[in-house]
Amino acid sequence: MNLRAIFAIVIAGAFTLCVKRAPAEDKSVGEKSAEVWGQTKQKTKEISKAVVKKTRETVEAVEHKIDQPDADARKVDVKVTDKGVQMPRSLPPGKTAFVVANTGKQKHNFKITGNGLDESFWFSIAPGSNKTMQAELQAGSYEAVCSVGAHAGKETKTQLSVK
């Protein structure tokens, strides 16, 4: 054996002794990555749920505070049913507080659009509940409808004339 071969064997042996061998119970990089990814997904879901819950609480608190219309606003009773919106078809212009009652069996919302106005509640109205929305109505034509996505096209739209 020549000196080079002996030297190569010694270096290979030293290298082998210096490299830590992983015990059989240690996880592979792929397994560790999958585990960390799973933990990350779970934590993200938990944080997302907490953010949604807090956002909903905040919005409901804000809606509750603005649920009281200005004293000089004209109050208009609106019923949202499983078939559509029931409300007056004609109103005079001015500050208007729509007192919206959900008399249906499903969650509903109230949206009024037209003449530059596009207003709706941030969250749906539960059956048997009511909310108040204030808007400044200008002369023109408006349309009122439930804005819950699944109800689109299933409920009648109500035309409102302001003059």
Q: Is residue 41 part of a domain?
A: no
Q: Is residue 104 part of a domain?
A: yes
Q: Is residue 17 part of a domain?
A: no
| Amino acid 161: pLDDT | 96
End-to-end CA distance of the chain: 110
Q: What is the pLDDT of residues 105-115, one digit of tens each?
A: 988 888 899 99
Q: How far apart are CA 98 and CA 89, in angstroms?
A: 13
Q: Is residue 125 part of a domain?
A: yes
Confidence of residue 56 (pLDDT cuts 50, 70, 90): confident
User: Of the ranges 18-22, 93-97, 142-146, 155-159, which is most confident?
Assistant: 93-97
Q: What is the pLDDT of residues 85-100, one digit of tens each?
A: 899 999 999 999 999 9
| Residue 92, domain extent | 71-162
| Amino acid 25: pLDDT | 64
Q: Is residue 38 part of a domain?
A: no
Confidence of residue 153 (pLDDT cuts 50, 70, 90): low
Q: How many domains does the chain have?
A: 1
| Amino acid 139: pLDDT | 96
Our separate counts of H helices and E strands in the chain read 2, 9
| Amino acid 29: pLDDT | 87
Q: Is residue 66 part of a domain?
A: no
Q: What is the CATH number of the domain that holds 112?
A: 2.60.40.420
Q: Is residue 30 part of a domain?
A: no
